[in-house]
């Protein structure tokens, strides 16, 4: 749906040409920010420099627009995609495409993963559902595969995914925006919901044909771009910091074919990959909306994780709480249904699973084990899902490290962690999961 937003980020990147990048690096060096932020901003500037200096060659990127009001493992439902071409600091071409129209060109030859057939009643996987992995590297490959399966002709230098949260980030910088020919004002607080209502409902009352219902995105992009062009250097620097925060939150995920560029992305952890090399305690909860509607806008989550070392085997208990804050069915929201997968250390053994609507599913990937099941949450209901499992004996209190990776598209998730020592004493910590988290003793 947000087929203009990535242009704003690219505009900021590509406007710093001819020595402006070196100047911006000097600004970062003297800024009163943490060393981590300085390192990340340097990486962002270096990446922008690499992309803007193409020595006359045209670079082509596939942009995935993920609507996280309908959450999917990779960040959100892919409602549209864009093709961006740049050369030496200039956007030479940008086109956006409705993925539903494009999917009509894709032959029905790829079986859908569980439980898409059972819940969404689809017989084959298409582009729109291709981001079913929690690992963006895998999703980027799948997106290219389905693009070419639909006779797409471009060869890509990289794949970039963004969620609707990026729109709110830019509007916090630009302030409220009005779109000529359309009613209302779009702000950081109302834009995501307002645009969803415009393209799904209000367009018909305005005499707009269904095929043109997303046409508002281009003039909206133009209005925001005008604001960005008038930014002072300090405002553009602040916008770099906003983009950096979106990268950390995985609201922007990057995959490049250029090995040097990709290495920079991986070192900064902007690649959206599941950490397959982590061998200590690990947790990642991954939701996939299997009810089609945009209910994730109203569903709030929290996690409570306990690791108990006081018994013979290290034992883990995870309580996942879903609070459906909507109370009545509308054109946007209804009862919620998600297929949730819990990724845990390989060698873990499930002992109980409650709150689920279907029998648990089991699997292994990325050097992890996962337990999955359908969970149903009615309007106005709070549902608790609890899993308990024995951790492998290699997880010990003596050198205990825990990594929790966040799902793209889901932000501000409260997490409480409890570590029970051998003598029964307990250490507690609370965090808000907006980026990957590591607990180290």
- For 423-436, the pLDDT digits (tens) are 999 999 999 999 99
CA-to-CA dists, residue 13 to 34, 42, 52, 355, 420, angstroms: 22, 12, 7, 46, 47
**CA-to-CA dists, residue 374 to 41, 212, 255, 417, angstroms:** 40, 36, 30, 25
pLDDT in tens, 225-251: 788 878 887 887 788 788 889 999 999
Q: Are 332 and 294 in contact (CB under 8 A)?
A: yes
pTM of the full structure: 0.91
pLDDT digits (tens, 9 = 90+) for 337-372: 999 999 999 999 999 999 999 999 999 999 999 999
Q: What backbone torsions phi and psi does residue 280 show, to the nearest 5 degrees?
A: -95, -160
Does 222 score more than 60 pLDDT?
Answer: yes
Residue 340 phi, psi dihedral angles, 5° rounding = -105, 135
- The whole-number pLDDT of residue 3 equals 40
Predicted pLDDT at 138: 98
**Which pLDDT tens digit goes with each residue over 385-420?**
999 999 999 999 988 999 999 999 999 999 999 999
Residues of the chain above pLDDT 70, percent: 92
| Other beta carbons less than 10 A from residue 388's beta carbon | 17
Pairing of strands 299-308, 413-420: parallel
- Using a 10 angstrom Cβ sphere, with 0-12 exposed, 13-18 middle and 19 or more buried, the burial of residue 423 is exposed
Q: Which residue has the higher pLDDT, 47 or 116?
A: 116
Q: What is the pLDDT of residue 184?
A: 85
Which one is predicted more confidently, 267 or 320?
320
In the chain the domains, ranked by start, together with CATH numbers, are 5-267 (3.40.630), 281-440 (2.60.40)
Tens digit of each residue's pLDDT (9 = 90 or more) over 252-277: 999 999 998 899 899 899 999 999 99
pLDDT at 42: 75
- pLDDT: which is higher, 90 or 349: 349
**How confident is the model over 292-303, as a mean pLDDT?**
95
Question: What integer best gives the mean pLDDT of the chain?
Answer: 89
Structure confidence at residue 22 (pLDDT): 61
Count how many Cα atoms sit within 13 Å of the Cα of residue 252 in the half-sphere of its side chain: 23
pLDDT at 7 (0 to 100): 46
| Per-residue confidence (pLDDT) for residue 411, from 0 to 100 | 96
Please calculate the CA angle 74-80-81 and round it to the nearest 5 degrees.
80
**Is pLDDT larger for residue 21 or for residue 207?**
207
- Given a cut of 50, whether residue 17 has pLDDT beyond it is no
Can you give the chain as a three-state secondary structure string?
A: CCCCHHHHHHHHHHHCCCCHHHHHHHHHHCCCCCHHHHHHHHHHHHHHHHHHCCCCCCEEEEEEEEECCCCCCCCCEEEEEEEEEEECCEEEEEEEEEHHHHHCCCCCCCCCCCCHHHHHCCCCCCHHHCCCCCCHHHHHHHHHHHHHHCCCCCCCCEEEEEECHHHHHHHHHHCCEECCCCCCEECCCCHHHHHHHHHHHHHHHCCCCHHHCCCCHHHHHHHHHHHHHCCCHHHHHHHHHHHHHHHHCCCEEEEECCHHHHHHHHHCCCCCCCCCCCCCEEEEEEEEECCCCCHHHCEEEEEEEEEECCCCCCEEEEEEEEEECCCCCCCCCCCEEEEEEEEEECCCEEEEEECCCCCCEEEEECCEEEEEEEEEECCCCEEEEEEEEECCCCCCCCCCEEEECCCCCCCCEEEEEEEECCCCCEEEEEEEECCCEEEEC
Residue 30: predicted pLDDT: 66
């Amino acid at each position: 749906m947000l087929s203009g937003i990535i242009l704003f980020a690219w505009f900021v990147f590509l406007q710093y040409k001819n020595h402006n990048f070196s100047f911006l690096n000097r600004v970062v060096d003297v800024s009163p920010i943490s060393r981590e932020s300085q390192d990340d901003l340097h990486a962002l500037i270096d990446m922008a420099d690499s992309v803007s200096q193409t020595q006359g060659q045209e670079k082509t990127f596939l942009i995935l627009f993920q609507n996280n009001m309908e959450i999917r493992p990779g960040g959100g439902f892919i409602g549209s995609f864009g093709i961006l071409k740049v050369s030496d600091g200039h956007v030479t071409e940008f086109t956006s495409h409705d993925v539903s129209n494009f999917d009509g060109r894709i032959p029905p030859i790829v079986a859908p993963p569980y439980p898409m057939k059972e819940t969404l009643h689809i017989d084959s996987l298409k582009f729109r559902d291709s981001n079913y992995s929690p690992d963006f590297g895998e999703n980027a490959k799948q997106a290219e595969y389905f693009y070419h399966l639909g006779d797409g002709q471009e060869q890509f230098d990289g794949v970039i995914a963004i969620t609707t949260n990026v729109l709110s980030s830019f509007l916090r910088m630009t302030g409220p925006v009005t779109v000529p020919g359309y009613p209302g004002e779009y702000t950081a607080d109302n834009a995501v919901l307002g645009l969803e209502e415009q393209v799904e409902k209000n367009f018909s009352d305005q005499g707009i044909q269904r095929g043109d219902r997303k046409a508002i995105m281009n003039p909206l992009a133009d209005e925001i771009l005008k604001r960005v062009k008038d930014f002072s250097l300090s405002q553009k620097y602040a916008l770099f910091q906003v983009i950096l925060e979106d990268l950390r939150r995985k609201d922007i995920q990057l995959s490049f074919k250029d090995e040097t560029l990709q290495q920079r992305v991986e070192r900064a952890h902007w690649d959206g990959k599941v950490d397959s090399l982590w061998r200590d305690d690990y947790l990642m909860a991954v939701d996939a909306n299997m009810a089609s509607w945009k209910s994730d806008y109203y569903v709030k989550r929290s996690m409570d994780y306990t690791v108990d070392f006081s018994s013979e085997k290290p034992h883990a208990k995870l309580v996942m709480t879903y609070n459906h804050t909507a109370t009545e069915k509308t054109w946007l929201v209804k009862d919620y249904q998600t297929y949730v997968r819990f990724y845990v250390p390989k060698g873990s053994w499930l002992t109980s699973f409650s709150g689920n609507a279907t029998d648990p599913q089991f699997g292994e990937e990325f050097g992890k084990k996962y337990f999955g099941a359908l969970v149903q949450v009615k309007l106005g209901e709070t549902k608790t899902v609890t899993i308990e499992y024995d951790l492998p004996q290699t997880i010990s209190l003596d050198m205990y490290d825990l990594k929790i990776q966040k799902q793209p598209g889901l932000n501000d998730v409260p997490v409480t962690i409890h570590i029970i020592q051998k003598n029964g004493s307990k250490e507690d910590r609370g965090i808000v999961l907006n980026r990957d988290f590591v607990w180290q003793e």
